[in-house]
Chain A
């Protein structure tokens, strides 16, 4: 895990070759929106909360998470 938060494009799938720079990010975004399909707003909020907890645990490094929380809070 990096010691600071990655803010440059970072999506990829091991073993997959991309010919266009926008493809891996678009793949992720579609997965994300697809995961919410047919959910009510409340169900979606629950999905998001669980997703954040899962990813936060995966990242683990609290200094990285602190930085991400700061950026997320910014301007809200």
Chain B
């Protein structure tokens, strides 16, 4: 069953700038879908329309079967949102801010439970303005989880978090996914998308330029084998040189090419020093897409 359906979404800002240009994707129930892309690619602009903060200039959005903008009151009780930049009154304490939010919800979790989920229980009586950037981020996540959402929107949830907090947040998100929560995530941490997302899309200048599972996106990019070539003997494969003395072979069939190369080296008794073979990573795909599209 589809939790989020986005078709031909376009968002235009008041100056006339088109930040999102005809984006389409689906997120199934219980799935995590990640939106990746360079700064200004249009991730936040897209997610905000899906959250129902703004009406699309063109295209349609459906969340749990409803239009999130026009049927806001039907959608909001079932979703949780963590904006890229959201605020809380700086002079409230963590508990007061959480209680306020709980008071606006139909069926909130207990405040202590929500704060424990994000390891903020020990900061409960601290004013929001005294929190560190990462702590504030976690408070935001606690509020997004407070209403036991079926669909969770997380716009860069782990930006500014220390490595341990980031791992804890991943664990928390994983447990939510196991409970059947649907998650739409944006992130600049590719390993985060790789570790958590069932499917992802890479955006560039308002468009989706690649979409699918991690391996579908990555498989479109060649694997690489690099080594220092032995002197005085022609190589059996096409290579590219980057001036560092190493050469690189790009291949869509890593195993086959590597086998050929090693067999050739064995037969000719030459050494491929500094041999390094790797499948394309999400990072490589991302960088290649950003470069191609630029």
Q: Do A and B come from one complex?
A: no
Which residues from chain A sit less than 8 Å from chain B, CB to CB? none
